[in-house]
Amino acid sequence: MRYSGFKVFTEGLFGNKGWQPAWREPQPKSEYDVVIIGGGGHGLATAYYLAKNHGITNVAVLEKGYLGGGNVGRNTTIVRANYFLPGNSEFYSHSLKLWEKLEAELNYNVMHSQRGQIVLFHSDGQRDAAVRRGNSIANQGDDAELLSRDQLKRMVPYLDYEQTRFPIYGGLIQRRAGTARHDAVAWGYARGADARGVDLIQNCEVTGIDIENGHVRGVQTTRGPIRAKKVAMVAAGRSGQVAAMAGMRLPIESHVLQAFVTEGLKPVIDSVISFGMGHFYISQSDKGGLVFGGDLDFYASYASRGNLPMLEHVMEAGMTLMPMIGKAKILRGWGGIMDMTPDGSPIIDKTHIEGLYIDAGWNYGGFKATPASGWCMAHLMATDQPHEVARRFRLDRFRTGHLLDEEGTGSQHNLH
Amino acid sequence: MRIPCPLCGPRDRREFYYYGSDDYLNRPGEDAPPEAWDDHLHLRDNPAGLTRDLWYHEQGCAAWIELHRNTVTHEILSARLVAERAGAAGANGASTGTSRKKAAAPAKGTKA
Ligand SMILES: Cc1cc2nc3c(=O)[nH]c(=O)nc-3n(C[C@H](O)[C@H](O)[C@H](O)COP(=O)(O)OP(=O)(O)OC[C@H]3O[C@@H](n4cnc5c(N)ncnc54)[C@H](O)[C@@H]3O)c2cc1C
Ligand SMILES: [Zn+2]
């Protein structure tokens, strides 16, 4: 069924009785050409582009819970392309271009809003770093603009400019950055993949990966064995455990990241704002809630909830930056499990097992990567060649020393 | 979360700096191949359940502590000084992550 304004209007006239489910609920078949482990944003996007770009439709996405129940439905939805290192910058640039056409592509309202992201700086040194980053973003072909303190004051007058501890010197804005409705991205890709013949199988946990003579043969699941010619591991925070089923040890440590949302308020924050002196970022959802977050809890964890010290720290950072939010009531806080790599960059690669592929290590920032990750993973699985913009996301780069350490914090998983 | 420091007793989690898994204690020798360094620095078992990892009592006694704990429930089963592990190279822990002490504070800004 095609969605349109006209359809919404006519359905409204006739009691909304004509809507159909957005995807089927198929029983798993005994064999597929491709099985994708994980029905998050990246798994669903991979399935969609396998079908759309490469005509590979005998595909199943196996999800242990429900579609979109993982990080894709838990993040703070920031979409941007302001990376610095070659390897990262062209990939996120490609992703942002896909975002800009995503709604038309999927015939689905993902509420992609290019409201701009402002990263603040608070010292001369930070300004120099912002100029350098801005130039590299411009070189990659995307937009970046330096804002003076006066320009900022006109745009976002409610920041605390007067404080002496972290004075605000200015900001770097990317106007094409912004936010999107996270679950809608999962649903849009799910619907598009289903329409092209992909089986989306929920409540189906993969419990084993079958390997014979160095070739992948299929998977064991809670709904029985499924044979497959190719298998993709796209399990985000659970990547380590899924890879262990294939006898692999990954350069990944799983950590919990929290986020928070306030009660709905009238429109007040119309861009994404990132504090440069504490890790704090905030935007306002279309429902009116202020959505914000900060750093990891910093110790390895598989609990999908955080601890209080980081909650307190995030609130402190928010109050330092914009005291006006102090009276807003927090509605909810939650956590998601992040797959942290020792250089902070992701992995899209083959493994040493024939037919087994991996897409993992998305750290703090995998939501914005969703379209390009699916695009490049599908390309890799269909052609057995890395896509041009993802060719540095190699699994063996840690051994060979070709790290992509965007933050420059060294080989410690929780520092990226 | 409270961490039972063997020297100071139970202390607030905020007094501790987290380093990572106890793989950091198995430092390869000088002429070890790149694979050994990859194991030491990057590759992790990353268990959902019991793990052993390294914490530094930064705002306390400055000891490196190895915790035996659960990554799903956050329960802590036991704690001991890294310096007292079997095979530890003396109280200064020459074979341990102490040689690296504390890495730089995380960079701020634009990770999400
Ligand atoms: C609090 C928070 C804030 C964030 N903010 C941002 C942000 O502002 N911008 C940004 O770009 N990124 C952000 N991220 C990161 C981003 O959400 C993730 O990097 C990204 O969603 C991960 O990819 P995914 O969508 O495929 O993951 P997921 O949605 O987690 O998908 C993985 C799926 O695999 C399934 N699975 C796991 N094991 C198995 C198994 N054995 N069998 C079957 N299925 C299995 C899981 O159930 C899950 O549904 C944030 C993350 C969190 C937690
Ligand atoms: Zn102590």
What's chain B look like in SS3? CEEEECCCEEEEHHHCEEEEEHHHHCCCCCCCCHHHHHHHHCCECCCCCEEEEEEECCCCCCCEEEEEEECCCCCEEEEEEHHHCCCCCCCCCCCCHHHHCCCCCCCCCCCC
Q: What is the pLDDT of residue B108?
A: 46
Q: List Cβ neighbours of A154 (8 Å cut-off, separation of 6 or more).
A: none
* Residues paired with A360 in a beta bridge: A347
Give the mean model confidence (pLDDT) for residues A283-300: 97
Quick check: B71 pLDDT over 50? yes
Q: What is the pLDDT of residue B111?
A: 64
Please tell me which residue of chain A has the smallest CA distance to B46: A253
Could you tell me if A370 and A96 are in contact, meaning their C-beta atoms sit under 8 angstroms apart? no
Q: What is the pLDDT of residue A192?
A: 98
Q: Closest by alpha carbon to A318, among A333, A305, A303?
A: A333
Higher pLDDT: A216 or B98? It is A216
Q: Is A247 helix (H, G, I), strand (E, B) or coil?
A: coil
Give the mean model confidence (pLDDT) for residues A158-184: 95
Q: Exposed, middle or buried by CB within 10 Å (0-12, 13-18, 19+), for B90?
A: exposed
The distance of A287 to chain B (nearest Cα, Å) reads: 21
Q: How confident is the model at residue B9 (pLDDT cuts 50, 70, 90)?
A: very high
Give the mean model confidence (pLDDT) for residues B48-77: 97
Give the mean model confidence (pLDDT) for residues A368-376: 98
- Measured from the Cβ of residue A166, the count of other Cβ atoms closer than 10 Å reads 17
Give the mean model confidence (pLDDT) for residues A128-135: 96
Q: Exposed, middle or buried by CB within 10 Å (0-12, 13-18, 19+), for A202?
A: middle
Q: How confident is the model at residue B88 (pLDDT cuts 50, 70, 90)?
A: low
Could you tell me if A288 and A261 are in contact, meaning their C-beta atoms sit under 8 angstroms apart? no
| Nearest CB to A411 within list B42, B45, B72 | B42
Between chains, do A364 and B18 touch, taking CB under 8 Å as contact?
no
In single-letter form, the type of residue at position B52 comes to: R
Q: What is the pLDDT of residue A278?
A: 85
Q: What is the pLDDT of residue B112?
A: 63
Rounded CA gap, A384 and A407, in Å? Answer: 30
Measuring from each residue's beta carbon to the nearest atom of ligand 1, which residues come in under 6 Å? A 37-43, 62-65, 69-72, 74-78, 205-206, 234-238, 242, 257-259, 293, 336, 338, 362, 364-368; B 112
Structure tokens at A161: 């400019």
Q: How confident is the model at residue A167 (pLDDT cuts 50, 70, 90)?
A: very high
pTM for the model: 0.95
User: From the CA of A202, which ligand is nearest?
Assistant: 1
Q: What is the pLDDT of residue A163?
A: 84
| Nearest CB to A302 within list B39, B72, B107 | B72
Could you tell me if B82 and B67 are in contact, meaning their C-beta atoms sit under 8 angstroms apart? no
- C-alpha pair distances (Å), A35 with each of A50, A229, A238, A384: 11, 8, 17, 16
Share of chain A above pLDDT 90, in %: 97
CA atoms within a 13 Å half-sphere pointing along the CA-CB vector of B32:
13
Quick check: B97 pLDDT over 60? no
Quick check: B99 pLDDT over 60? no
Rounded CA gap, B17 and B64, in Å? Answer: 9
Q: What is the pLDDT of residue A106?
A: 98
Could you tell me if A203 and A8 are in contact, meaning their C-beta atoms sit under 8 angstroms apart? no
Quick check: A350 pLDDT over 50? yes
Q: Is A222 helix (H, G, I), strand (E, B) or coil?
A: coil
Task: Dump pLDDT digits (tens) for A332-348.
Answer: 999 999 999 999 999 99
Q: How confident is the model at residue A195 (pLDDT cuts 50, 70, 90)?
A: very high
Give the mean model confidence (pLDDT) for residues A144-173: 95
Q: Mean pLDDT across chain A, nearest whole number? A: 97
Quick check: B107 pLDDT over 80? no
Mutation pick for ligand 1 pocket among A71, A179, A297 (CB with most ligand atoms within 8 Å): A71
- Residue B79: which region, alpha, beta or left (left: phi > 0; alpha: psi -120 to 50)? beta
Quick check: A187 pLDDT over 80? yes
User: Which residues of chain B neighbour A344 with C-beta distances below 8 Å?
Assistant: 111
Pick the CATH number of B2-84 from 3.40.50.920, 3.30.2270.10, 3.40.50.620, 3.50.50.60: 3.30.2270.10
Could you tell me if B37 and B24 are in contact, meaning their C-beta atoms sit under 8 angstroms apart? no
Quick check: A88 pLDDT over 70? yes
Sheet holding A272-275, edge to edge: A145-148, A170-174, A117-121, A272-275, A280-284, A289-300, A253-264, A330-340
Rounded CA gap, A409 and A416, in Å? Answer: 7
The distance of A294 to chain B (nearest Cα, Å) reads: 8
Strand pairing report for A78-79 and A347-350: unpaired
Tell me phi and psi for residue B15, to 5 degrees: -80, -5
Give the mean model confidence (pLDDT) for residues A60-77: 96
Task: Dump pLDDT digits (tens) for A248-284.
Answer: 999 999 999 999 999 999 999 999 999 988 889 999 9
Q: What is the pLDDT of residue A304?
A: 83
Give the mean model confidence (pLDDT) for residues A94-104: 98
Please tell me which residue of chain A has the smallest CA distance to B35: A399
| Nearest CB to A276 within list B21, B41, B109 | B109
Give the mean model confidence (pLDDT) for residues A19-48: 97
Structure tokens at B39: 């194991």
Q: How confident is the model at residue B94 (pLDDT cuts 50, 70, 90)?
A: very low
Give the mean model confidence (pLDDT) for residues A204-210: 98
Q: What is the pLDDT of residue B87?
A: 67
Between chains, do A302 and B109 touch, taking CB under 8 Å as contact?
no
Q: What is the pLDDT of residue B89?
A: 54
- C-alpha pair distances (Å), A63 with each of A40, A223, A244, B49: 8, 11, 18, 22
Whether B33 contacts chain A with CB within 8 A: no
Q: How confident is the model at residue B85 (pLDDT cuts 50, 70, 90)?
A: confident
CA atoms within a 13 Å half-sphere pointing along the CA-CB vector of B28:
13
